[in-house]
Amino acid sequence: MTKDTCFLTTKDFTILEVMRDRCLGRDDPLAPILKRKIEAATVMFRDDIPVNVATLSSRVTFSVNGREPDSRIISHDRMTSPIGMFLPITTARGLALLGLSEGQEFTIANADGEEDRILLHEVHYQPEAARREKEALERMSGPTSGKPSLRVIRGTFHDQPRLVPVSHDGFDDPGPSAA
């Protein structure tokens, strides 16, 4: 596995290809990162992506150049609120994290021309893994139509004859007033 190897879902890979096609040319700071990501990508179906890989909408903890770790949600584009919660892939750091596995790092050039080492510490939440877990739980609980299932357990009174109240004249219909 090379240093730049990354795992991308088919959706994430397609988004990166579109971003590359829309690049402003060689001056676009994301162009070299996109090129590296696309060339080194192992593309997988969302059901096959490992749980320790950063995908779109994953909540991750990472650090830059060994500084204090930070947690963010990798997003598709800039989010207006809450500030500091999202890291869009339209930024160099967000793009660098996409497709990395826990413990893997990716080196990029910053605005000053110096190298930044971005290390992915942990993937706390990955939507693909959450989806697989939800489906597994649904399969274990049996076929349901989105409603909770009830199982009737026969108790002591199951074999007992039911008593039906009958009025003093032998007629058991309570009439329209009972409705």
pTM greater than 0.85 = no
Domains of the chain: 6-131 (3.10.50.30)
Give the number of C-alpha atoms closer than 13 A to the C-alpha of residue 5, restricted to the C-beta side. 8
pLDDT digits (tens, 9 = 90+) for 115-136: 999 999 999 999 999 999 998 8
- Rounded to whole angstroms, the Cα distance separating 92 from 132 reads 29
pLDDT at position 1 is 45
pLDDT at position 29 is 87
pLDDT at position 177 is 64
